[in-house]
Chain A
Amino acid sequence: MKTGTYQSIAAALLLALATGLAQAATTIRMQVDGLVCAFCGSAIEKKLRSHAATDDVLVSLEHKVVALSLKDGQDIADDTLRSQITDAGYQVKKIERVSQSLDSLRAELKGKAHGGR
């Protein structure tokens, strides 16, 4: 009985920790003009991945979206992001930080692409 209580408490703590981490994880979502070609757009991925704070990068030509997830506790300034996208040859229209994970955003955009046309 006592063991079961400890297990429940441990499970609750783990769940709370996992939820907290998920909420803390930040995804930066950018609307980028000019994204028509994966070959040309790959420079954006290269530039963003070269940043120490970047965990993963998502590019969607269909939705003109470039997004990246950040490593825990790290961030990239908007000016730096704008500069890197501009250096790659494109224009940033909007930058927003969302609590949605990159995987979730990827699934959402794929769903829109397949169901929205």
Chain B
Amino acid sequence: MTPLQGRWRRCALALAAALPLPASAGFFIPRDVTMFMFSASPDSQMADIAHGVRADLALSAGQSRYRSDDRRIDRHYTTLQGNWLVHRDYGADGITNLYLFGGPLLARSSEFVGAGAGSGDDTRAGLHGGFWADHETRRIYGRLSTHIYLAGGRSQTVTTAQGLWAPYAADYEDIATWLGLQLERRSGLTDATQVTPLLRLFQRRWWVDVGVSVNREHRGDAFVNLMLLF
């Protein structure tokens, strides 16, 4: 099997194993709307289902998995999460949002075996949370978010910055096309920074991001992010 086949096989296996998974961020979900989100790359997979319970609050549940750079350590998180829209600014041509999110988690990893109470157990309870800020017009999108996981005396942080540009201002009936760059810094489990050009397509109730990392450490790592609204 070639490395590429192996990578695709792992992605497919992760996809199959990921259902149902949780949300990693405070993406806005309107009241009475349900969103399913799934993302996968060779060293992380995440799935989440969220429901808007108020105009400014959504609750979600999901699961995520991160793998260390040397591929020796996996961490699986099962999370419950509240997404709170703290502030939304309505400008003339766009909106700016600030979200806080967080909740309890269960972390499972071989690192926990032999450490502290319940030393034969590989699962620890913990907390996770963070913030998400974004600004969006019909042609420009920018986002900065941080997600921190704390469990079993270990912490992990995922910080993401995105900048995207739309070559045309899509209207409601159109398929929107966005091009941009994502920088993602992970610490606590890996010390990797992934630089990923990405393509975003969405229309009404579906959303797809695809990208391939271009930095040397993760060159060739592909990721896909899917979202569906119900």
Binding site for B on A (CB under 8 A): 33-34, 36-43, 45-47, 59-62, 86-91, 113
Please, what's the 1-or-0 string for B179-216, where 1 marks a CB less than 8 Å from any CB in chain A?
00000000000000000000000111111000000000
Contacts of A33 in B (CB 8 A): 90
Across the interface, which residues of B come within 8 angstroms of A91, CB to CB?
90
B137 within 8 A of A: yes
B88 cross-chain contacts in A, Cβ below 8 A:
34, 89
Give the complex CA separation of A90 and B95 in angstroms: 10
Rounded to whole Å, the gap between the CB of A23 and the closest CB of chain B is 28
With contacts A34-B95, A113-B171 taken as known, whether A42 is within 8 angstroms of B138 at the C-beta atoms is no
Alpha-carbon distance between A36 and B166 when the two chains are bound, in angstroms: 12
Which A residue's beta carbon lies closest to that of B206?
A: A39
Check if B204 sits within 8 Å of A39, measured CB to CB.
yes
Q: Is B28 an interface residue (CB 8 A)?
A: yes
B145-170 interface (Cβ within 8 A of A):
169-170
Given A42-B205, A87-B55, A89-B30: A36 and B95 interface contact (C-beta under 8 Å): yes
> Is B32 a contact partner of A87 (Cβ separation < 8 A)?
yes
Give the top 7 A-B pairs by smallest Cβ distance, nearest first: A43-B30, A87-B31, A59-B172, A33-B90, A42-B204, A88-B30, A39-B202
Extra inter-chain contacts (17) besides given A38-B171, A39-B229, A87-B30, CB under 8 Å = A34-B90, A34-B95, A37-B138, A38-B202, A39-B205, A39-B207, A39-B227, A42-B204, A43-B229, A46-B33, A46-B229, A61-B170, A61-B172, A86-B55, A87-B31, A87-B55, A88-B30
- A38 and B172 within 8 A (CB): yes
How far, in whole Å, are A76 and B169 apart by their CA atoms in the complex? 31
Q: Are B136 and A37 in contact (CB under 8 A)?
A: yes
Q: Is the CB of B229 within 8 A of A60?
A: no
Please give, as numbers and ranges, the residues of chain A lying within 8 Å of B28 by CB-CB distance: 40, 89
Q: Given the complex of chains A and B, what is the CA–CA distance between A47 and B33 in angstroms?
A: 9
Interface residues of B in 2-61 (CB under 8 A from A): 28, 30-33, 52, 55
- Check B176 for interface membership: any CB of A closer than 8 A: yes
* A46-B230 Cα distance, complex, nearest whole Å: 9
Cα distance, A21 to B50, chains bound together (Å): 43
- Residue ID in chain A nearest B85 by CB atoms: A89
- Min CB distance, B199 to chain A, in Å? 15
Query: A62: shortest Cβ distance to chain B, in Å?
Result: 5
Residues of A within 8 A of B172 (CB): 38, 41, 59-61
Query: Given A34-B95, A60-B171, A86-B55, does the pair A43, B33 have CB atoms closer than 8 Å?
Result: yes
In angstroms, Cα B181 to Cα A2, docked, is 77
Is the Cβ of B229 less than 8 Å from the Cβ of A36?
no
Report whether B55 and A36 are in contact in the complex, using a CB–CB cutoff of 8 Å: no
Instruction: Chain A residues near B207: list those with CB within 8 A.
Output: 39
Contacts A38-B176, A39-B205 given; indicate if A61 touches B32 (C-beta within 8 A).
no
**Per-position binary interface string of chain B over residues 211-226, scored 1 when its CB falls under 8 Å from any chain A CB and 0 otherwise:** 0000000000000000
B70 in the interface (beta carbon within 8 A): no
Q: How far is the CB of B60 from chain A (nearest CB, A)?
A: 16
CB contact between B170 and one of A38, A45, A87 (< 8 Å): that residue:
A38
Task: Check B94 for interface membership: any CB of A closer than 8 A.
Answer: yes
Q: Is the CB of A36 within 8 A of B203?
A: no
Q: How far is the CB of B141 from chain A (nearest CB, A)?
A: 9
